[in-house]
Amino acid sequence: MPIDNSLSNQHIYEGRMREIEKQIIDFFIKIGLHRYLTPKFSMIFGYIIIHRALSQSELSNLTGYSVATVSNTLKLMISLNLANKRLRPNSHEYEYFIFSENTSLTPQSSKFKLDSVQKALEFFSNKKQQLETSNLTGKKGYLLLLQRIEELLAFLNIWRSMIEYQKTLFIEFMKEKSIN
């Protein structure tokens, strides 16, 4: 059964799940600050990742930023090839997304260091465990949030492997270079 991740007048997550969502957004903001990104940029990016696709008005509702601020941030993300937009079916409204429906999470312009990836893995593993051990299983949005966390964990594990492989190649290259 497909997961409905569109927002109505009320927030998709409530209570404890909303708190976990806010903790995830805070995590995106902290990581963004280390990458010299503004909190609004990181917050909007994080909400799009969590919800898969959101309109400007939905992002404005979630973040508390004006539609104009959200629009300018989305224009920047699109110009950097970090976000895309598409017309919602049966609507005149655009929705913005980071990754296409046909791909799992893939890095588009990020350069993670191994320690950052490890911290992110620990953080999201903790959030997944919190969700799984909570009494929120039947709540609206539970499966979506759990699925998105699992996708982030899968992405981070792949990215960690790629970084480790790249490091190994570099070491081998340097050994070969010093022999010659």
pLDDT digits (tens, 9 = 90+) for 71-107: 999 999 888 878 899 999 999 999 999 855 444 333 3
Model confidence over 60-74: pLDDT tens digits?
999 999 999 999 999
Model confidence over 8-43: pLDDT tens digits?
445 667 788 888 889 999 988 988 887 788 999 999
Q: Token match 């792949």: residue? A: 158
**What 3-state DSSP class applies to 54?**
strand
Q: How far apart are CA 146 and CA 132, in angstroms?
A: 8
For the domain covering 15-179, report its CATH number: 1.10.10.10
Residue of higher predicted confidence among 65 and 162: 65
- Kindly state the average pLDDT of the residues 139-151: 90
- Domain regions of the chain by residue span: 15-179
Local confidence band at 172 (pLDDT 50, 70, 90 cut-offs): low
Which pTM does this prediction carry? Answer: 0.62
Q: How far apart are CA 43 and CA 40, in angstroms?
A: 5
